[in-house]
Amino acid sequence: MTVTISFQVPEESLISLKERPESFARELQMLAAVKLYELGKLSSGRAAQLAGVTRVEFLMALGRYQVSPFVLDAETLAQDVANA
């Protein structure tokens, strides 16, 4: 099942960004997926689904947004360092 969510974007914003509505909508979808993944609210698979791309494409795209595909909390990182 797919749900459609809509909101208004001032035309001036699209002009400033030099974006067309269709490409801007796709970019917002990807940005939302990346941020929700970064916050730990979505897995990479679910974030990819939200972005409308494959999981591999999503993980490859994370670099463009300066988000690491590796999720480590401080405790796990400390354990890895201790084991190294």
* pLDDT by 10s per residue, the chain, length 84: 889 999 899 999 999 999 999 999 999 999 999 999 999 999 999 999 999 999 999 999 999 999 988 876 677 667 777 887
**Angle of helix 44-51 versus helix 21-38 axis, rounded to 10:** 170
Q: Look up the pTM and report it.
A: 0.80
Res 58: pLDDT:
97
The torsion angle over the Cα atoms of residues 70, 45, 48 and 34, rounded to 10 degrees, is -40
Res 2: pLDDT:
87
Separation CA 64–CA 61 (nearest Å): 6
Nearest one of 4, 7, 35, 9 to 20, comparing CA atoms = 9
